[in-house]
Amino acid sequence: MFNWAKQTLANVVGTEEPIYGPSAIKSVAEDAKVTPYTELKKEDLKWAVMESTSVETQSFYLMSDSGYLGLAQVIYSNVAGIKTTVQFNSKISYLDNSKPHLWCSNPLNDHEFSDDKLNFYAKDCAVELSEDGNTYTIKSMNDQRCIVNLKITKVAPGFVAGKDGKTLYGTDLKNPWGSMRHAFWPRCVAEGSMMTKDGPIDFKGQAFFAHALQGMKPHHAAAKWNFLDFQGPTYSAVLMQFTTPPSYGTTSVAVGGIAKDGEIIIAGSDCDAVHLETKSDSDNEWPEPKKVKFTWSGKTKDGKPVEAVIEGPFEQRLDRVDVMAEVPAFVKKIVAGAAGTKPYIYQFAPPNFTLQLKIGEETITEQGKTFSEATFISATDAAASQS
């Protein structure tokens, strides 16, 4: 009961959590040992719309045939059950460095969800799932610098790791006080555009969709993240990995998969992201990755062993985002009072990453488009986090 009280206080006023240790987290990897992954049904894409402290996002990552990277994202945030804020973010990255990145982030008014919680609406913004559950349309006119009109259609099944995709937090895991869940459409096609002051940018190409729920304060759930979205002509590889703060034993949890049109090759938690080389950022002392390795393993539905690797250098950083400078006020409130919290996102789009895939005795090598992020929020060393 005392631990619950301390945790509740941390949720409400932003104080640092005590050290509960690894026994206070149940990773989705435990379920994935029995059920590596579960294919998504339409009803699995409902917004949770939690009434307690949480951050829920739907994010669409875009790789256009014309050479642009894009993001369209809705963030639904609840601070301690007291205040709800909704934000729409869009970003266009010019890979040829012809222009600065276009980043737009705006609060949304008059938000609501459809009765079945599958569609989101706000003033000048809508994210709708088609009747067959295969296509999202995203429309936003809340920022005239970037008017969004997109359609994202999955071409491979969606999945969660394990039975329901959930990692649970709490000293009584039958009654957890927090959770983390990621649901993915690993391989999609995109059409539509983002209209800028210089004209429309055509986003016909490939896409990846992630529906994420952090059912607690984000910086209590994870201290750092790694993310990879690889889209090749035939195969897609995705990976989301987070490491908890010392409060939960500095536990690493990964979710990822390999897919091609119409089929998941493998998916689950048997994947990993490693920074092989790093460089200290003189502005904030975070270890910016310079060389990385992503790995996946598992078995196909018919029992063939699968191993996959993407490894290489991040020769040039695409962007570095100071989250506290960029995000809306509600996030600042969520992390208020947390010791050592200084979130930065390092973004990369290496042009020459190659997927090395082995399925049974077959070896496949495929080059594709890549977007990757390394996010640092707080120290993962217990002594550092308490200093």
What is d(CA 206, CA 15) in angstroms, rounded to the nearest whole number? 42
Q: Give pLDDT tens digits for 195-232.
A: 999 999 999 999 999 999 999 888 889 999 999 999 99
**Residue span of the structural domain in which 184 resides:** 22-378
The verdict on residue 383 lying in a domain is no
Q: What is the pLDDT of residue 78?
A: 87
The verdict on residue 385 lying in a domain is no
The verdict on residue 341 lying in a domain is yes
C-alpha radius of gyration, the chain, whole number? 20
Q: What is the pLDDT of residue 257?
A: 98
The verdict on residue 276 lying in a domain is yes
Q: What is the pLDDT of residue 142?
A: 95
Over the chain, what is the mean pLDDT?
90
Contact between 112 and 86 under an 8 Å Cβ cutoff? The reply is no
Domain count, the chain: 1
Higher pLDDT, 195 or 10: 195
Identify the band that residue 2 occupies on the pLDDT scale cut at 50, 70 and 90. very low
What average pLDDT does the segment 107-134 reach? Answer: 97
The verdict on residue 387 lying in a domain is no
The verdict on residue 201 lying in a domain is yes
Alpha carbon of residue 236 to chain centroid: 16
The verdict on residue 17 lying in a domain is no
Kindly report the three-state secondary structure assignment for every residue of 312-369: EECCCEEEEEEHHHHCCHHHHHHCCCCCCCCCEEEEECCCCCEEEEEECCEEEEEECE
Q: The domain spanning residue 316 has which CATH number?
A: 2.40.370.10
pTM exceeds 0.85, yes or no: yes
The verdict on residue 143 lying in a domain is yes
**Which of 71-80, 226-235, 360-369 has the least mean pLDDT?**
71-80
Q: What is the pLDDT of residue 222?
A: 92
Using CA atoms in the order 17, 19, 22, 23, what is the torsion angle rounded to 10 degrees?
-90
Buried-exposed string 81-116: b where 16+ CB fall within 10 A, e elsewhere: eeeebbbbbbbbbeeeeeeeebbbbbebeebeeeee
Which whole-number Å values give the CA distances from 192 to 64, 131, 196, in the listed order? 10, 19, 13
